[in-house]
Amino acid sequence: MIWIIAVFFPLLLAAVCALPGPGLRTGFRLMPLAPLPALFLAFTGDASSGLELSGFLLKTGLGFGPFGNTFLLFTSLAWFAAALFTALEPLHNLKNRAFCIMFLLTMCGNIGLTASLDAVSFYTFFAFMTFCAFSLIIHSGKELAYRAGRIYLIMAVLGEGLLVAGIITAVFSSPSHFFADIAPAMAWMPETHPVFLLLFAGFGIKAGLIFLHFWLPLAHPVAPTPASAVLSGSMIKAGLLGWMNFFPVGIASLESWGLGFAVLGLGGAFFGALAGLSEKNPKVILAYSSISQMGLMAFCLGLGIIDQDLWIMAGPALYLLVFSHALSKSALFLGTAVIGSSRSGPEKNLLTTIMLWVPSLTLAGAPFTGGAQAKYLLKEAAETSPISEFSIFLLSLSSIFTTLLMVHFLRQVNIIKNKPLSVSGRNPAWLLLIIIIFLMPWILYKLYPEYRIAWMDPGLIFSSAWPVFSGLVVYLLLKKYVEATAGRIVKILPDIALMIDKSWYHLMARIRLHGILESDWAGMNFSRYTDQLIQSKQVRKISRELELKFSAWPIFGMFFMLLIIILALLGMKGG
């Protein structure tokens, strides 16, 4: 029962927000409670505490799965911080029914997919999260927001199509639709089977893999800050979890696909850093930082796919990477709003800037941080891999680039610190994240005793200190040259988002101007009668009123969830 509460409690609060009268005010105040059942389970549950619903969505399993509680832990923490941040701030543009309902529905999808033990429920929650998040991106209603939403939706639909084909193929080839059966079955499939390509690309869109990443820098700057925090901190890792669930990680060696993950991962790590160095908007810089860090995670996963025996070392490194990145990136996004507070004086802005260094140094892998522990384990795994000759040097170089990007971000975020965003620098949610990140070495030591690292070891301190120190020196001495060079390099690559935009408008123009609309085929009596009916004043008036009502995202979201519940009930009846 506790698993049902953990997954669907945000959905219940969304229903409260949809109630007329004081429902919105009540739901808004209760919003921080939504992820707490999942957070409680992440701390107290164990591998045997799962739940199986025999009549829901073709038999659904909820639990920790083969990868433990890591994903549920950082997901619920990130959502709790974002919800608390929203509830405690007088951001009036967020205190409306649309944002509250869609925020909670997206949270339900994100938590649900991390707790899913089977492919059907995983994809259901994955798609639910994806399409509900669209409303968070376009929330401001500005032209840039709609453009970002359009690109996001095009990529989301493309990704969903690939995933439907890939997941159906994977389930068809396995004894059941549970991940415990799918991964071993995938191990027997040849590497040239198209199912791997479908899953690789489908989940790669969500994970921000290089060449599939371009929706991220568009979505982050237009989305409200709390939405950006969970989008980068938690939601994009759904793609990573999808890879881990469907690829035979630790079960079989797929050298070609492992090498593909590793090469594209390292490519994304450097591209994200270079592209971010050419930007001025702090939220865009953080978006490219997410692409860079997700590249490192893809590289780490690739090590475990290249050689199944390497997963013993690469797995712990990946867990620590996703945990430290989720909390650090959430804190940095929320910090962009905190440091811009008009209520914070120069002294408080200085203190806020100093506090922003904590998650920034964690991402860079500085000594005495959780990031240093994660990258130390990653380098250890890379040293024993078949690609150790060049990967160790590139990993150290990526730490230098990450440091350059974080210093560039801190410089840019201070330039806009006098913009009035009416956010308090004493926001408890942001301060809580900073404290957790500061204590992360000790927290990781307690949470993962099997991965204990001597983080006071001189060798670890030196290996993590010199890339960060080198990045600081290079930026301070050559920042103009670094930014200009990064901009020239990035401009070489095509602007895929612009290409999609042009293709979209060209397609729409061709459809409007197509001769079929004026052909004899369109002149049949039934067609003419229908046209006259549609063009009548009364029908146009009714259609406009219905469109305004049903285009509201709260109503659409509730109808979408109602459809899922009806399908689930039909499945229970059929079972």
Q: Model confidence at 106, in pLDDT bands (50, 70, 90)?
A: very high
Confidence (pLDDT) at 493: 67
Give pLDDT, residue 170. Answer: 92
Kindly state the helix (H) or strand (E) to which residue 60 belongs, with its residue range.
strand 60-62
Least confident span in 44-48, 85-89, 211-215, 282-286? 44-48
pLDDT at 108: 94
3-state percent helix, strand, coil for the chain, nearest multiple of 5: 80, 0, 20
> What distances in angstroms separate CA 138 from CA 255, 281, 319, one per listed residue?
41, 18, 32
Q: Which residues contact 563 (CB under 8 A, 6 or more apart)?
A: none
Averaged pLDDT, 334-363: 74
Tell me the C-alpha distance between 564 and 263, whole Å: 39
pLDDT recorded at residue 418: 45
CA dist 225 and 335 (Å) reads 9
How would residue 375 be classed by pLDDT, with cut points 50, 70 and 90?
Answer: confident
- Helices 36-44 and 70-87 pack at an angle, to 10 degrees, of 150
- Which amino acid is present at 271? F
Instruction: Dump pLDDT digits (tens) for 434-484.
Output: 999 988 888 777 777 766 665 566 767 888 888 899 989 988 888 888 888
User: Residue 35: what are its φ and ψ, rounded to 5°?
Assistant: -90, 0
Measure the CA–CA gap between 160 and 138, rounded to whole angstroms.
20
Average pLDDT, the chain: 82
Residue 301 · residue 318 · CB < 8 Å: yes
Q: What pLDDT score does 140 carry?
A: 83
Q: How does residue 299 score in pLDDT terms, banded at 50, 70 and 90? A: very high
Query: What SS3 class is residue 8?
Result: helix
CA gap 399, 405 in Å, rounded: 10
Q: How confident is the model at residue 554 (pLDDT cuts 50, 70, 90)?
A: low
According to DSSP, the residues that pair with 61 across neighbouring strands are 52
Confidence label for 127 from pLDDT (cuts 50, 70 and 90): very high
CA pair distance 430, 330, nearest whole angstrom: 9
Identify the bridge partners of residue 118 per DSSP, sorted by sequence position: 178
Rounded to whole angstroms, the Cα distance separating 368 from 444 reads 12
Residue 297: pLDDT band (50, 70, 90) is: very high
Comparing CA positions, the residue from 365, 364, 338, 362 lying closest to residue 351 is: 338
Which residues lie below 8 Å from residue 149, measured CB to CB, with a gap of 6+?
Answer: 134, 137, 138, 219
**Per-residue pLDDT tens digits for 305-340:** 998 888 988 888 899 899 999 999 999 998 888 875
Give the position of tokens 């759904």. Answer: 238
Q: How many CB atoms lie within 10 A of CB 275?
A: 26
242 neighbors 350 (Cβ within 8 angstroms): no
Residues 6 or more apart in contact with residue 262 via CB below 8 angstroms: 298, 299, 302, 303, 306, 387, 391
- Of the candidate ranges 178-187, 231-240, 343-352, 469-478, the one whose mean pLDDT is the lowest: 343-352
Position 421 scores a pLDDT of 43
Whether residue 241 is predicted with pLDDT greater than 90 in this model: the reply is: yes
Give the model confidence (pLDDT) of 488-520 as tens digits. 777 766 666 666 666 666 666 655 555 544 544
pLDDT digits (tens, 9 = 90+) for 56-73: 777 788 888 777 788 999
